[in-house]
């Protein structure tokens, strides 16, 4: 899925004339649409921004397994359960691709993991919301993965080669996630009254959190300009949010569900929907750690890391022993 609130370093975007020769050569490569590869020179701010963005993106995939994992043992049919398992397995894989992409920038996965565990790095705000009913699996797939795709499709063209290649892989799989989520919503929305009510309730709870996934409004997103100049980011937060709303509202209509926004209205002039902004105060509380599930999510990750320490060490010890035995035999 997706990371947000990525702060780049530095002070605003410099013009080519203000740049050092190295920076200028770099910016010219970006402007020419060249991909930057791990061994290439890059400005410190570019490296740091990417480590933060890719790292947080990877963390989001890992933490994102928790709200869905919550329903694996309670999935209503064996088929749905198998699908959910496959999806959660995909998320683990996405985390892996992304950690590896971040590692090409000179940070290790364990370092990033520790930063996640002690709260120095963030993950997507969406995973701090609880999954209360089975319909939430539908809403998460349809809305959350839908929002993730909206973000990730343009990132396939992002300027850093390993990130762009990871996104290409991720997008292929993410579209399975969105479709299976919509499939759950369809089943529920066409089901009995209680099922339909559950689907509507899930949409009500996930609509605004999904809109928040695109990050704060452009006017409050202070570091966007630099990320756009470096082509780390291809579209502004508001552009992507608008696109998401335009695409999703007709899907909700198809389901016979109501988007929980009384200001939602088609605007002929701009060729898109007018809609209410999410509650940004809530958003900033959630990313500060005060959302409904922040504590639980981090506690679960910390517990897995701490309780698994002896297994990780054991496997390294075993690998060393096997290597020594093999050397002795040669």
Binding site for another protein (CB under 8 A): 37, 39-41, 86, 89-90, 93, 96-97, 100, 103, 108-110, 166, 169, 173, 309, 312-313, 315-319, 322-323
Nearer to another protein, 81 or 196 (CB): 81
- Which one, 82 or 222, has the nearer CB to another protein? 82
The C-alpha atoms of residue 120 and residue 101 are separated, in whole angstroms, by 19
Task: State how far the Cα of 2 lies from the Cα of 127, in Å rounded to an integer.
Answer: 10
Shortest spacing between CB 149 and another protein, in angstroms: 17
* 110 vs 220 by CB, closer to another protein: 110
CA–chain centroid gap for 53, Å, is 10
* Cβ atoms < 10 Å from Cβ of 284: 15
> Minimum CB separation from another protein for residue 305, in Å?
11
Closest approach, Cβ 102 to another protein, in A, equals 11
Residue 222 or 316 having the CB closest to another protein = 316
**Tokens in use for 95?**
């985390």
CB of 55 to another protein, least distance (A): 15
Q: Which residues pair with 272 in a beta bridge?
A: 267
Closest alpha carbon to 3 in 207, 214, 232, 224: 214
Nearest by Cα to 247 from 201, 315, 178: 178
d(CA 294, CA 280): 17
Which residue, 89 or 302, is less far from another protein as judged by CB?
89
End-to-end Cα distance, the chain: 47
CB of 257 to another protein, least distance (A): 31
CB of 26 to another protein, least distance (A): 12
Task: Return the residue matching tokens 């869905």.
Answer: 68
- If we measure between CA atoms, which residue out of 138, 154, 136 comes closest to residue 292? 136
Query: How far apart are the C-alpha atoms of 307 and 312, rounded to whole Å?
Result: 10
Element (H, E) at 266: strand 265-267
Smallest distance, another protein to C-beta of residue 38, A: 9
Residue 142 tokens read as 């349809």
């Amino acid at each position: 899925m997706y990371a947000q609130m990525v702060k780049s370093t530095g002070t605003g975007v410099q013009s080519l004339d203000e740049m050092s020769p190295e920076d200028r050569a770099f910016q010219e490569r970006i402007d020419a649409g060249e991909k930057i590869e791990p061994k290439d020179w890059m400005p410190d701010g570019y490296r740091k921004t990417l480590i933060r963005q890719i790292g947080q993106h990877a963390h989001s995939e890992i933490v994102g397994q928790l709200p869905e994992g919550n329903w694996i043992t309670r999935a209503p049919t064996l088929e749905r359960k198998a699908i959910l398992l496959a999806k959660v397995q995909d998320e683990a894989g996405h985390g892996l691709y992304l950690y590896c992409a971040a590692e090409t920038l000179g940070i290790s996965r364990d370092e990033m993991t520790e930063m996640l565990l002690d709260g120095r790095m963030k993950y997507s705000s969406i995973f701090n919301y609880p999954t209360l009913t089975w319909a939430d699996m539908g809403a998460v797939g349809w809305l959350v993965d839908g929002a993730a795709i909206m973000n990730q499709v343009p990132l396939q063209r992002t300027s850093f080669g390993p990130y762009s290649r990871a996104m290409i892989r991720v997008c292929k799989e993410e579209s399975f996630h969105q479709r299976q989520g919509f499939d759950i919503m369809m089943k529920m929305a066409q089901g009995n009254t209680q099922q339909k009510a559950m689907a509507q309730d899930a949409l009500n709870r996930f609509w605004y959190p999904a809109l928040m996934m695109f990050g704060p409004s452009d006017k409050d997103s202070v570091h966007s300009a630099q990320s756009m100049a470096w082509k780390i980011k291809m579209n502004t937060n508001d552009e992507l949010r608008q696109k998401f709303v335009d695409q999703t509202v007709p899907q909700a209509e198809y389901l016979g569900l109501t988007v929980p926004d009384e200001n939602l209205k088609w605007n002929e002039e701009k060729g898109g929907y007018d809609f209410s902004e999410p509650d940004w105060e809530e958003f900033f509380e959630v990313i500060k750690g005060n959302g409904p599930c922040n504590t639980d999510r981090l506690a679960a990750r910390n517990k897995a890391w701490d309780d698994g320490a002896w297994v990780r060490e054991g496997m390294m010890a075993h690998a060393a022993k096997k290597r020594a035995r093999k050397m002795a035999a040669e």
